[in-house]
Structure 1
Amino acid sequence: MATITKISAQKRPGRYNIFLDGEYAFAVDEGVLVQFALAKGQELTPDQIARIQEQDNFRHAYNIAVNYLAHQLRTRHEIWAKLEEKEVPPAYIKQVAAELTEQGYLDDHAYRDSFVRTQMVTTENGPTIIERKLREKGISPELANREAITDIFTPAEQLATMAKLIAKQRNHYRRNSAREQERKIRQHLYTKGFAGDLITQAMDAADFTPDPEEEADALAAQGAKYWRRYASKGAAVQKRKTKQMLYQKGFDLGAIDTWIAEQETEDA
């Protein structure tokens, strides 16, 4: 048996050096010190020393995990990856995960719910994007699925989010034809992770009827760009290419012909 002859605090808070029979033996966490009631004059068997050091290894891993959790909620996968990064042996990682789960600090179900609500408030992402992000964080398919997400991010709330997105995108594409605006915005909603049936509902609720004045302004702005671009190609090519490009951009064919006729008159 060995006798504790000295216990001294390290510069690092919460760590203590243990001296046995006058020589430094090992260091322990404050929690381990209290758990085993270590004190000067106490005698320790080799088996006791082994248990103390094993518990200290666990406390070291546990403290890494708790510090990592202090900043925000984490998934079981993220905790496991963090401890592996710190070269914690798998046996201790499993023990830490079990302890944190029992204490309620590690709950992938609660994490999923919190993550979805945060995405709803801080982003414009739809369920498909949210599901992908959850999978990337290690949430299982059983928890990270469309049905579970839409129980939280309801269709009505998705439609409200899309209404805001549509308004923002319409302003962004205000120099485009109403038809082109509708096409680009519909595609944008798909890329944000919303489902096709809800996108159709959201688009139907928005009024994409062309405003004559806005459509004329957009046609003039787009037309002037192409008219200049093809000016060096000769009058026939300039007219044909400009008409082709404006038609592809969703403008009315009659309005295009009228605008081109005006340009030809001005150039004459």
Structure 2
Amino acid sequence: MATITKITVQKKNTDRYNIFLDHGKGEEYAFSVDEDVLIKFNLKKGMELDDFALMEINYQDDIRKSYNLAIHYLTRVMRTEFEVRKYLADKEVEEPVIQEVIHKLYDYQFLDDEEYANAYVRTQINTSDKGIVVVRKDLQEKGVAAPLIEKALKQYSLEKQIEKAKGLWEKAVNKSAKESERILKQKAEQFLLRKGYPFEVISIAMEMAESKKDEDDEMEALRYQGEKAHRKYAQLEGYEYEQKMKQALYRKGFSIEKIEQFLAEEKDD
């Protein structure tokens, strides 16, 4: 048995108290506790504590300290249960303590993965250009359960996905004005896939955007790419030059018919 001989308030943290015990060999500092733990166990001078009581007090204090850590972590931004668990584990909090903290956070409504998922999807729809595939992946990485993810993603309607994809498609097309129509479409499609839009959404957005280039635009792009290829193969002549030019421009997505038209123009110059 040990007897509490003194309880003092910590100077730098007035919510914590230093506990001094006498195990029969004189007074010495034993441990500190949070104010809530002090009150819960009604700790006071002269109180006797056995080993089990000391173990329970320290366990409850660990829970309180870890709970305060979690609250501080949650004040900055909404978090998922998975993120809080990982944060506490990284702080070397033991699993039984983490479990108790998670229960308390749910009891006081500081954690709610369903609300988190709903809020996250709303935010991404309103503030980002992420497609539904990427948003789903983000939530999976944050440890949200699959049923909650799919429920939250119902907010991301097909119409909204198409609207955002169409805008991104047009932006991608404008950035690739000097490309052939085929390459332009390939680049725009890959761009939207990376952003997280499904093939079916991309296909509809592409049709709605009416991005097909007219003849003049296609020839302007061909001339631009043709001039670049010419600088590369200018040292060649005749058949070898024509073959290299045709191969280079065909790889750029231009039709043989258009390439031959360009090469004929080049000969006339």
TM range (shorter): 0.7 to 0.9
What corresponds to 2:140 in structure 1? Answer: 135
Choose from 193, 204, 207 the match for 1:204.
Answer: 207
What corresponds to 1:194 in structure 2? Answer: 197
Structure 2 gaps of 5+ residues are none
> What is the CA-CA distance between 1:249 and the residue it aligns to?
2.6
> Any idea what the Cα deviations from partners look like across 1:51-108, whole Å, max 9, x if unmatched?
3322111101111211111211111111111111122111111111111112111121
> What is the CA-CA distance between 1:173 and the residue it aligns to?
0.8
What corresponds to 1:216 in structure 2? Answer: 219
SS across alignment from 1:144: helix
Once structures 1 and 2 are overlaid, which stretch shifts more, 197-206 or 19-28? Answer: 19-28
Total equivalences in the alignment: 263
| 1:131 and 1:149 in contact (8 A); partners too | no
| 1:10 and 1:16 in contact (8 A); partners too | no
Identity %: 34
Q: Distance in 2 between matches of 1:180 and 1:233?
A: 26
Structure 1 gaps of 5+ residues are none
- Return the letter of the residue paired with 1:5: K
| 2:173 and 2:211 in contact (8 A); partners too | no
SS across alignment from 2:148: coil
Q: Distance in 2 between matches of 1:124 and 1:213?
A: 32
Summarize the alignment of residues 9-88 of structure 1 with structure 2, pairs less than 5 Å apart. Answer: 9-12=10-13, 14-21=15-22, 22-39=27-44, 41=45, 43-46=47-50, 47-88=52-93
Choose from 152, 163, 179 the match for 2:166.
Answer: 163
What corresponds to 1:177 in structure 2? Answer: 180
Q: Distance in 2 between matches of 1:175 and 1:207?
A: 17
> What is the CA-CA distance between 1:38 and the residue it aligns to?
4.0
| 2:170 and 2:211 in contact (8 A); partners too | no
What corresponds to 1:5 in structure 2? Answer: 6
SS across alignment from 1:98: helix
What corresponds to 1:112 in structure 2? Answer: 117
SS across alignment from 2:123: helix
Relative to the length of structure 1, the TM-score reads 0.88
| 1:10 and 1:17 in contact (8 A); partners too | no
Compute the RMSD of aligned alpha carbons.
Answer: 2.2
- Return the letter of the residue paired with 2:139: L
